Structure 1
């Protein structure tokens, strides 16, 4: 993400309570970097989708959410354990995604 203090960032967190904690950490980093956080994804310039890769249904929901968000024309950042499990495949098959953040790369959200 370009460091633009007027950039509005929306976040969608899918999956387990650990994902929610990871999302809150990323939100704190994003907020501390001067970005505007919005709870309305339709108002966001960039949407961070924190995915879940635990069970098949969660994987499908994560992929669907990323693709639906990208279809709105928003920049999409994909994070979370689904990405961590299938990163190579996802990076090749999801050109709609602007950036990828693995589970150990939360600082890269900035």
Structure 2
């Protein structure tokens, strides 16, 4: 587990990818190194940007969350955050079923995630959705 490294996993549509890239920039200006590689996660913090549009995307998102929950349970991850469409649509159910996740956020709540991590919202990007 690498200190000051955040693993970001972006699932689903291209809008999620753009949101994840904006979030990565925010993390980087706050002194964190970001890695966008779910195959070889090494960070102390993970953020999964989920999709909840179709059944297969929901399954992929849940499976990815559970993979990172296993990493956390094994002591290879300190904090796990989930955001995006799936967590917005099913937040209460997810909180009940997967309590190992530190916090669930909706698809537009990246500022709250930054605040919860003690980070400043520094970067202003045009074209935000």
The TM-score bracket by the shorter chain reads 0.7 to 0.9
Which SS does the other structure have where 2:99 is aligned?
A: coil
Superposition deviation, residue 21 in structure 1: 0.8
| Structure 1 unpaired stretches of 5+ | 1-5
Larger Rg: 2
Counterpart of 1:34 (choices 31, 38, 49) is 31
- TM-score (norm. length: structure 2): 0.75
Which SS does the other structure have where 2:63 is aligned?
A: helix
Q: Paired residues, what number?
A: 105
- TM-score (norm. length: structure 1): 0.87
Aligned to 1:51: 50
| Structure 2 unpaired stretches of 5+ | 115-129
Aligned to 2:62: 63
Counterpart of 2:108 (choices 97, 104, 109) is 104
Q: CA RMSD in A?
A: 1.4
Q: Which has the higher relative contact order, 1 or 2, with Cα contacts under 8 A spaced 6 or more apart?
A: 1
